[in-house]
Structure 1
Amino acid sequence: MTVFNYSKIKKNKQFYLIAEIGVNHECSVPRAKKLILLAKKAGAHAAKFQTYKANKIASKESRAYWDTSKEKIKSQLELFSKFDKFNYKDYKILSTFCKKLKIDFLSTPFDLGAVDMINPLVPLFKISSSDITNVPLLRKISSKGKPVLLSTGGSNEQEIRFALKVLNSKKKLKIVLMHCILNYPTKDRDANLLMIEHLKNNFRGYPIGYSDHTLPNKDMSNITTAYLLGANVIEKHFTNDKKKKGNDHYHSMNSDDLKMIIEKINQINKVLGKSKNKNFIKSEIKSRKNARRGIFISKSIQKGERLDKSNLITLRPNIGISAENWDKILNKKAKKTLKTGTKLKWKNIR
């Protein structure tokens, strides 16, 4: 059964966390399975990979757009060629393993053949920021009719609308717009999480998510901030060794980071509560009575004497006549003698 529920995400009733293993498996099925298991145990809802053949992504002229002090290779074709060895059989094994663990299996396709290859295995498609203007790929994914997570890194509003038009050309798809910055890694000052609000306001009807490339900090506050701003789908690269050299390990989260995200999101949901309308809650009923004030006699009053500021006081608890009726009882007359400290009752005044 698929964990992803578009309807719940759209209604802000589901948080969906994707552990983006990508190619951190380094073409090893056992390593990929290990990472899936770690992600599941830490609380991820999906384990995602990347499906491609290097020569269908990049030409010999393609240059690096990542931090070359962390990943030395400066050719896209050369780097991608290191990690494009998985075939359908491998992805089928991983998909079956995910199903057994009850975690969604996802993979981003980077070419038309990859779309067909993973289609039987995935409940939805993720489109990379780099392909938001790739019309053939957008149309191919659209033809499958499945939900789509559309990353928007490096794009503007016009390009996002263009991609949506292509994707929805034959059938309106269930699409989540993922805020993203196309930097590896993304500096905190460049994260621009307020763009999440822009996407919410300008693309009404589409749920918003966040694909994060910032370096993990000790409290994973970039992720929780994105969630508070309205990103109900979160994607972040995942590894078991952040110190491992090369590729995406250096800006990935590990199991501890993932657990912290889950714990913090659960705590946020706990304190946010369920009601969006201001009203007192059940646990406050006792406090409303004992912490609020009623009207009491501060100086003995004789029968027929008028009530005024000189003989009245508001004291806790809120019994008798509530302090909110102060203006209503001023200048009323006592029906009987009222001693100092007596709570005022409606039946005792006229």
Structure 2
Amino acid sequence: RLMIKQAAEAGADAIKFQTYKAELITSKHSPAYWDRNKEPTSSQYELFKKYDKFWKKEYEELAKIAEEEGIIFLSTPFDYESADFLEPLMPAYKVASADITNLPFLRHIARKGKPILLSTGASTVSEIWKAIETITEEGNDQIVLLHCSLIYPTSLEKANLGMIKDMYNKFPEYIIGYSDHTLSEHVLDVLPVAWLLGAKVIEKHFTFDKTLPGNDHYHAMDKEDLKKLRAKISYLREMIGSLKKGYTDEELCARKFARRSLVARRDIKKDQIITEEDIIIKRPGTGIPPYLIDFVIGSIATRDIFEDEIIGFGDFRRPGQE
């Protein structure tokens, strides 16, 4: 309840849990793949068994709390039973990277017709395409692909955020996002870059206490981290501004007075033919723009133009023009 409340207060759009039973997700002989210095448990089964106390009733209660707090409830199912009882509680499914090749399971979820957020950690492009094909064959093309590094925790140099751009190129018809496992101290460095590279969905572990035991809390963000992240992305969005090149209203003064015009280098007498030596290009830009200099050269002055005076279109005529 506290975690949901704090995530909502910090501005998260959704909060996601994990739903599993140890005996359904792993054999008792599966070794650890996480940082043993942070989480010493050497067996996946032993670790999952510590935390698989919640089931249908508890997740229904969590979904109710999320609704009360005004935040979307999600939970990643790791077996068929949880995928089924979570269906009425969620607007979408999240599938973990580890299940991207579990095609029968993907097929089961796809048939439910809800959007699927698919993490792609430790995956090849062909594996991603096969997962997409499996889902779409069931008539479901509501897919969000999340770049992810399946390293716990992920060092900065292993985050490979550039893969977000590559995924946009390889899967242009799908929304691309990012699921992060870097340490929380890097939240304000890593996640804004992911957003700038085009990640439309950002997933990050969340906690109310980074010192809690387990494989996730130590690299999770907390309420204050999320507030700072949202503020930074909002600031970046303002800085990016328009995506169409042009000038702003605030630039009009500089556009007018910092640009240059054709100016008389010396006195020019009426009826004198204006030569290149008669002209200098100087500020402000309120007169004839420099790119029209060839049009002015060879023209005939229609009045006396004094040194350092801005030349106007009414100050000359073209030969043969009366």
Does TM, scored on the shorter chain, surpass 0.5?
A: yes
TM range (shorter): over 0.9
Aligned residues: 317
Q: Does 1:266 pair with 2:234?
A: yes
Alpha-carbon RMSD: 1.4
Aligned pairs (5 A) from 1:126-275? 126-217=94-185, 220-275=188-243
Q: Does 1:348 align with 2:318?
A: no
Matched, 1:313 2:313: no
Paired residues of 1:179 and 1:211 also in contact (CA < 8 A): yes
Aligned-partner SS, 1:232: coil
Instruction: Answer whether contact 1:151 1:177 (CA < 8 A) is retained.
Output: yes
Q: Is the aligned partner of 1:288 residue 2:217? A: no
Aligned to 1:70: 38
Which structure has the greater CA radius of gyration?
2
Q: Does 1:38 align with 2:6?
A: yes
How far, CA to CA, are the matches of 2:187 and 2:105 in structure 1? Answer: 37
What's the CA shift for 1:324? 2.6
Amino acid at match of 1:150: L
1:279 alignment partner AA: G
What is the identity, as a one-letter code, of the residue corresponding to 1:267?
Y
If the length of structure 2 is used for normalisation, what is the TM-score?
Answer: 0.94
CA contact (8 A) 1:321 1:346 kept: yes
| Structure 2 unmatched ranges of 5 or more | 318-322
Return the match for 1:80 from 48, 53, 66. Answer: 48
* Contact 1:46 1:103 (8 Å CA) reproduced: yes
Identical pairs, percent: 44
Contact 2:159 2:182 in 1 (8 A): yes
C-alpha separation between the residues in 2 aligned to 1:173 and 1:147?
8
Within the candidate set 297, 309, 320, 2:264 is matched to: 297
Structure whose residues are more often helix by fraction: 2
**In 1: Cα distance, 2:140 partner to 2:83 partner:** 19
**2:56 and 2:82 in contact (8 A); partners too:** no
Q: CA deviation at 1:315?
A: 2.5
Return the structure number with greater relative CO, CA threshold 8 A, min gap 6: 1
What residue number does 1:47 align with?
A: 15
Are the aligned partners of 1:219 and 1:260 in contact in 2 as well (CA < 8 Å)? no
Provide runs of 4+ in structure 1 moved above 3 Å. none
How far is the alpha carbon of 1:236 from its aligned partner? 0.6
Cα shift at 1:286: 2.3
Amino acid at match of 2:64: T
Q: Deviations over 1:69-112 (max 9, x none)?
A: 11111111111111111122222222122122221111000000
- On the 8 A contact 2:270/2:302 being kept in 1, the answer is yes
| Alignment-derived partner of residue 6 in structure 1 | none
CA contact under 8 A between 2:110 and 2:140: conserved in structure 1?
A: no
TM-score normalised by L of structure 1 = 0.87
